Amino acid sequence: MSNALAAIPRVRLTGVIGVSSAVLLAIAIIAIIGPLASPHGYETTDFDNGLLPPSAADRHFFGTDDLGRDQFVRTMMGARITLTVAIIASLVSLIIGVAWGAIAGYAGGRVDAVMMRIVDALYALPFIFFVILLMVTFERNFMLMFIAIGAINWLDMARIVRGQTLALKEREFVEAARLIGVPAWRIVFRHITPNLLGVIVVYVTLTVPQAILIESFLSFLGLGVQEPRTSLGALVSGGTGYMEQAPWVLLLPSTLLAIILLAFNFLGDGLRDALDPRGIRQ
Amino acid sequence: MRRTFVLRVLALSIAGLLLAGCVGAEDTGNTLHRAIGPEPESLDPHHSRTAQAQSVQRDLFEGLVAFSPSGDLVPGVAERWQLSDDGRRYTFELRRDARWSNGDAVTASDFVSSFRRLVDPATASFYAESLIDITNAKAIVNGTMPPDTLTVSAPGPHRLEIELERPVPYFLSLLAKPSAFPVHPPSVALHGDSFARAGRLVSNGAYKLDDWQLGAVIDISRNEHYWNNAETAIDHVRHHVTVEPAAELFRYRAGELHITSTVPVEAYEQVARERPDELRVAPQLGTYFYGLNLSREPFRDNPALRRALTMAIDRDVLAEKVIGRGELPAYSWVPPGTLNYEPPRMAFADLPADERIEEARRHYREAGYSDDNPVSVELRYNTSDTHQRIALAVQSMWRDALGFEATLINEEFQVLVANMRAMEITEAFRLSWLGDYNDAYSFLSIFESDNPSNMYGYSSDRYDALLAEAATQLDPDRRRAYLQQAEQLLLDEHPVIPLYFHVSKHLVSPRVAGWRDNVLDFHYSQHLSLR
Amino acid sequence: MLQAGAIRFAFFRLLGAIPTLLLVIVIAFLMVHAAPGGPFDDERALPAEIEANIRQSYHLDEPMPQQFLRYLSGVVRGDLGPSYRYRDYTVSELIGAAAPLSLWLGTLAMLLALVIGIFAGTFAALHAARPADRWISGVAMTGISIPVFVIAPLFVLLFAVQLNWLPASWSGGSGIGRYLLPVIALALPQIAYITRLVRASMIDVLGSDFVRTAKAQGLATRAIVRYHAAKPAMLPLLSYMGPAIAGILTGSVVVEAIFGIPGLGQLFVRGALNRDYTLVLGVVIFYATLVIVLNAVVDMLYGFLDPRIRQQ
């Protein structure tokens, strides 16, 4: 065990990694606390005060949307939902992908062949096909739908983990565990997966921005989260109609969305550079 | 040396191509560019379903009767007609100079075979229903009688007789619909179901089909053989497929379109401010409403709750502030402007807001609800910014006036429709009803107990009797009285909550002349010209 | 010898893809039919007998297994069936009309992305951890951080509506002008991905032993990159290309909607939303076949380029 855990790489929180984690943390905190500090509710409509520009006087820091709802509170709510949704989707894809890949890789032979054939088939299905049909079916529950999205997004993870597992299972400590009679499932989940942690962490950081983009794409198609709830993607997509009359309705949520995406991408890249880069791509 | 030459030629040709790319719609001379919205599903008059397909078909084909620029019925292929005293037999005299786009004469037997094709179960037409009142049509659609038993006959090449099962006062409007357009029998015989394509389609309207680039444009040009060709001003018309209203507006502003299919909600104010002369907003025969499922709780046997919800909505605020694109608040079910009809008004229409809300609360309490004993329903609408906006507004009006809570659920359109039809989980849901033809019956018939579009579970013997009575009336005044009584019943029992009446919205370039607003929102290209 | 081997490899590879394709069809068929709502549901409900006629004419009244077999036997014969929505056309005709344009636009976008991405990625790798690298990486990341449905309308507003340089839509112009904005909009995220990919793998290769040896022998950086590092560094790019080309085809829905391009993405999304079962399945099969073929091509190219794999 200790042998296996020692393989987990240590990453110092400096440079790119430090800055991007700090930014993400700050956004998360503001998104949670911000709405509490505002006198406005996120679903309170005010038809006489639609599309107000940002102003500190009436505490509409980000202005109002077409229905007179406070954009600041909505943007913060949107950020919360966007982050939650993306992280959940990534975790789901992580769990399925790691389990699938590790089992296929460790079992090998026919089990491996069948499992990877299924991955191939799912790969060959257009992604938006799944997404649209899942949205249509699960429209009423956005958590469920992102679990579903995560359930599709695991294919890359499965392939990478399988490849790594194939390499790892020839290593001495796995041999040793096998010789002393440790059961297969225990070897897979106690000895092999911890060694994949570096790869997995990097991969998840790169999956989160993908999930965020998928969410915003769905919002563009009108298949996103249910009103009056909102997400950054929904706000940005709704804001494009006002890019001339009320640019702040588009600009502020898009900026936040871009910052979150940038931070996750930089974090992912930073982690990849910090950890063994070869391990990821082979 | 040689190399620089080649590079120079390359650069020049790229520049040339770029320049060619810049020239848009402006300089193509006598071509009208109009946007139709999403791709038409078919140009076969017997296979189409949507307004965008039909707007192209109206340019390509001509029925026995047609519409004038202001939306009145005028002779089309038929020059004149007679109706028998019992209101069941029409005799049409066709124009002798009516021609197909290949020069063939348009004859009465073309209509006979077209009408047969429409009701033939093998054609599987969505609109077979529109001629269902012709004797035997129902049996033919059901497959129990052959199509040639349809009582439409051609006693002469230019005389057409149609016998109806019952008098249908709006029958001429039905004949003006694309489903009653003639299709060229030899082409149908030759190409079967795919005759309505570019290179194959022979049509009898002012224009003929030149090209159909799927998903992009439909090009049509003047039909030289059309009997009224001399009056057609525009040689070429390009119907553009437009998916995104916002993108459509960009295209209009960039000079690529002369006529848009709509105006996006978000841009409406800006457009109204910047281009007031180009914006054409006109009342349309359509009602936007919330349907209620009367077969389930809490609306079953609960007219007081339905009335409370109907009354709690401030329709004026809704029309002016929430939608604000010229829509009219709906205080009746049938829209104003419907031919030979004057809709009754909801009893509370003229009450001041506070009295109206007081009354609504009274009904809410009467239904047994209060702050301590609240009720909530699910309000479904299909995904769209406008529907969402309205739902949010109505939700807050209900909350403020009654303390009534509506849970908003947006569903993708096909899902909403499936749920509405199943009537198993729906409570309240948004819909629009656009008149099929300009007659109150088109709006009122959907509440008959056995109507397939009755997704409200409304069933009233009295209502059915009133409509049945109206159907047999030849006298327009008595017919109108029955229909009005039926609508009054509807307004008293609230199977639906009408919110507003639709308007058509277009941007029309100053270059386009001859545009007339009309309740049908039909604008034949043959009536337009370019300055 | 090598060529015969490659052909055999390709043949077996594609033969092995048949069960995958079959699996794809089964999954897609089940999912499409499981979605609520049907192709003929509308606000205006059809009278029962008319709906029955329509369902019958499309064999929708048959039991599901029979429908599946009917469909499958059509597919085997190369017949993707009639579209449920666009009744004048068959699915093959609809795909045939949309696919060439999508492929063409996708190829152009991918070429643009490759040229810029490889150049920028290599440049960044050579200046790793210096300001040039930071800037390139930053710009590349920004490219994937703004959704295309924001960038594309901005392009149109600026270049078509305000400046009037380029057409606002596909059918609003002709020649190369109408390609420019959509191709750039499609290429932007790809440029970003490719830049990052090339940068990472180039850094990797530049740090490897054989490059160090070459450096020690005194070769110029330019020569090292061109003759030694380029080939191995492009390998990860190769495996990215297969799915990316296929993805750009169906993933271009947004760009197609905004520029009014009659491509595959629009066809597919409209098909799915209208429950045009045959159309959706047809596009799925087309796409799956493309992915499988592209992946096989990538594997073969890999075999040629990577000596390690060839030896196996």
- Residue B490, exposed/middle/buried by CB under 10 A (0-12, 13-18, 19+)? buried
Confidence of residue C172 (pLDDT cuts 50, 70, 90): confident
Checking if the pLDDT of B22 tops 70, the result is no
3-class DSSP state for residue C271? helix
Question: If you search the block for the tokens 């198993």, which residue do you land on?
Answer: B424
What letter would DSSP give residue B163?
Answer: E
Q: Do B410 and A226 touch (CB under 8 A)?
A: yes
C-beta atoms surrounding A188 within 10 Å: 21
Least confident of A253-257, B392-396, B420-424, C5-9: C5-9
- Quote the CA–CA distance of A104 and A166 in Å, as a whole number: 9
Comparing alpha-carbon positions, the chain C residue that sits nearest to B431 is C43
Which value, in Å, is the radius of gyration of the alpha carbons in chain C? 24
Contacts of C153 in chain A (CB under 8 A): 240, 243
Q: pTM, whole model, 2 decimals?
A: 0.88
Confidence of residue C311 (pLDDT cuts 50, 70, 90): very low
Higher pLDDT, residue B21 or C255: C255
Percent residues over pLDDT 90 in chain B:
74
Question: If you search the block for the tokens 């019952």, which residue do you land on?
Answer: B166
Burial B245-256 (b: 16+ CB within 10 A, else e): bbbbbbbbbbbb
Give me the residue from B20, B47, B421 closest to C177, CB to CB. B20
Segments in C127-229 forming alpha helices (H): 131-145, 148-155, 177-206, 209-216, 221-223
pLDDT of residue B8: 53
Phi, psi of C219 (to 5 degrees): -70, 150
Checking if the pLDDT of B2 tops 50, the result is no
User: How large is the average pLDDT for residues B163-190?
Assistant: 94
Confidence of residue B18 (pLDDT cuts 50, 70, 90): very low
B50 near B41, Cβ under 8 Å?
yes
Answer whether C196 touches A (CB < 8 Å).
Answer: yes
- Quote the CA–CA distance of C23 and A122 in Å, as a whole number: 9
pLDDT of residue C251: 63
State both tokens at B236.
């070429």
List pLDDT tens digits, range A100-142: 998 998 888 889 888 888 888 888 888 778 777 877 777 666 6
Q: In what order do the strands lie in the sheet with B428-434?
A: B328-329, B496-507, B279-292, B428-434, B376-382, B405-411
What letter would DSSP give residue B318?
Answer: I
3-class DSSP state for residue B418? helix
B110 near B185, Cβ under 8 Å?
yes
The sign of the CA dihedral B52, B55, B56, B62 is positive
User: How large is the average pLDDT for residues B216-239?
Assistant: 95
- Quote the CA–CA distance of C302 and C292 in Å, as a whole number: 15
State both tokens at B349.
């229409």
- Quote the CA–CA distance of B166 and B164 in Å, as a whole number: 5
Confidence of residue A272 (pLDDT cuts 50, 70, 90): confident
- Quote the CA–CA distance of B269 and C253 in Å, as a whole number: 29
Closest approach of A153 to chain B, Cα-based (Å) = 23
Contacts of B413 in chain C (CB under 8 A): 37, 273
State both tokens at B86.
């019992």
Which residues 20-59 of C have a C-beta within 8 angstroms of A?
A: 20-21, 23-24, 27-28, 31-32, 34-37
C-beta atoms surrounding C22 within 10 Å: 13
C-beta atoms surrounding C34 within 10 Å: 10
Comparing alpha-carbon positions, the chain B residue that sits nearest to A227 is B408
User: How large is the average pLDDT for residues C152-170?
Assistant: 91
User: How large is the average pLDDT for residues C187-212?
Assistant: 84
Higher pLDDT, residue A58 or B377: B377
Give me the residue from C43, C171, C259 closest to B240, CB to CB. C171
Checking if the pLDDT of B21 tops 60, the result is no
Higher pLDDT, residue B283 or A159: B283
3-state secondary structure chain A: CHHHHCCCCCCCCCHHHHHHHHHHHHHHHHHHHHHHHCCCCCCCCCCCCCCCCCECCCCECCCECCCCCEHHHHHHHHHHHHHHHHHHHHHHHHHHHHHHHHHHHHHCHHHHHHHHHHHHHHHHCCHHHHHHHHHHHHCCCHHHHHHHHHHHCCHHHHHHHHHHHHHHCCCHHHHHHHHCCCCHHHHHHHHHHHHHHHHHHHHHHHHHHHHHHHHHHHHHCCCCCCCCCCCHHHHHHHHHHHCCCCHHHHHHHHHHHHHHHHHHHHHHHHHHHHCCHHHHHC
3-class DSSP state for residue B500? strand
B263 near B249, Cβ under 8 Å?
yes
pLDDT of residue A209: 87
Q: CA separation (Å) from B66 to B41, B62, B180, B204?
A: 22, 7, 11, 13
Confidence of residue A3 (pLDDT cuts 50, 70, 90): very low
Contacts of C164 in chain B (CB under 8 A): 22, 254-255
Q: Is the peptide bond before C243 cis (omega within 30 degrees of 0)?
A: no
Contacts of B270 in chain A (CB under 8 A): 244-245
Checking if the pLDDT of C44 tops 90, the result is no
- Quote the CA–CA distance of B528 and B507 in Å, as a whole number: 14
Give me the residue from A125, A216, A281 closest to C147, CB to CB. A216
pLDDT of residue B33: 96
B117 near B123, Cβ under 8 Å?
yes
Q: CA separation (Å) from B176 to B65, B77, B437?
A: 5, 10, 9
Which value, in Å, is the radius of gyration of the alpha carbons in chain A? 22
Contacts of C141 in chain A (CB under 8 A): 261-262, 265-266
Confidence of residue A276 (pLDDT cuts 50, 70, 90): low
B519 near B285, Cβ under 8 Å?
yes
Phi, psi of B262 (to 5 degrees): -165, -175
What letter would DSSP give residue B92?
Answer: E
First to last CA, chain A: 25
Partners of B264 in beta bridges? none
Q: Do A126 and C268 touch (CB under 8 A)?
A: yes
Closest approach of A94 to chain C, Cα-based (Å) = 20
Q: What count of Cα atoms within 13 Å lies in the side-chain half-sphere of residue C165? A: 11
Closest approach of A53 to chain B, Cα-based (Å) = 16
Confidence of residue C211 (pLDDT cuts 50, 70, 90): confident
Chain A residues within 8 Å of chain C (Cβ atoms): 117-118, 120-130, 132-133, 136-137, 209, 213, 216-217, 220-221, 233, 236-237, 240, 243-244, 250, 254, 257-259, 261-262, 265-266, 269, 272, 277-278, 281
Q: What letter represents residue B340's amino acid?
A: N
Percent residues over pLDDT 70 in chain B:
95
- Quote the CA–CA distance of B192 and A240 in Å, as a whole number: 45
List pLDDT tens digits, range A210-257: 888 888 888 888 777 777 788 899 899 888 888 888 899 999 999 999
pLDDT of residue A183: 86
Contacts of B193 in chain C (CB under 8 A): 87-88
Give me the residue from A120, A128, A240 closest to C20, CB to CB. A120
> If you count them, how many residues does chain C have?
312
- Quote the CA–CA distance of A121 and C23 in Å, as a whole number: 6
Least confident of A227-231, B195-199, B211-215, C196-200: A227-231
User: How large is the average pLDDT for residues C47-57?
Assistant: 85
Checking if the pLDDT of B321 tops 90, the result is no
Confidence of residue A5 (pLDDT cuts 50, 70, 90): very low
The sign of the CA dihedral A157, A160, A164, A165 is positive
Q: What count of Cα atoms within 13 Å lies in the side-chain half-sphere of residue B60? A: 33
Partners of C90 in beta bridges? C82
The sign of the CA dihedral B435, B436, B440, B442 is negative
User: How large is the average pLDDT for residues C247-276?
Assistant: 85
> If you count them, how many residues does chain B have?
531
B438 near B170, Cβ under 8 Å?
yes
| ipTM of the complex model | 0.87
Confidence of residue C308 (pLDDT cuts 50, 70, 90): low
Confidence of residue B485 (pLDDT cuts 50, 70, 90): very high
- Quote the CA–CA distance of B249 and B445 in Å, as a whole number: 37
- Quote the CA–CA distance of B311 and A4 in Å, as a whole number: 70
- Quote the CA–CA distance of B138 and B72 in Å, as a whole number: 29
Nearest Cα neighbor of B251 from B267, B235, B236 is: B267
pLDDT of residue C1: 47
pLDDT of residue B395: 92
User: How large is the average pLDDT for residues B277-304?
Assistant: 94
Please name the residues in contact with A183: beta carbons below 8 A apart, sequence gap of 6 or more: none
Name the neighbours of A, counting chains with at least 3 Cβ pairs within 8 A. Answer: B, C
Q: Do C47 and B43 touch (CB under 8 A)?
A: no
pLDDT of residue C141: 81
C73: Cα separation from own chain's centroid: 27
pLDDT of residue B27: 46
Q: Do B215 and C263 touch (CB under 8 A)?
A: yes
Q: What angle do CA B252, B253, B255 make, to 5 degrees?
A: 65
Q: Do A126 and C142 touch (CB under 8 A)?
A: no
Answer whether C72 touches A (CB < 8 Å).
Answer: no
State both tokens at B365.
């309490």
Comparing alpha-carbon positions, the chain A residue that sits nearest to C37 is A136
Q: Is the peptide bond before B336 cis (omega within 30 degrees of 0)?
A: no
pLDDT of residue A145: 66
Work out how many CB contacts closer than 8 A connect A with C: 126
Nearest Cα neighbor of B209 from B43, B34, B36 is: B43
pLDDT of residue A122: 83
Mean of the per-residue pLDDT values for chain B? 90
List pLDDT tens digits, range A7-22: 444 555 567 788 889 9
User: How large is the average pLDDT for residues C25-39?
Assistant: 87
Percent residues over pLDDT 70 in chain C:
95
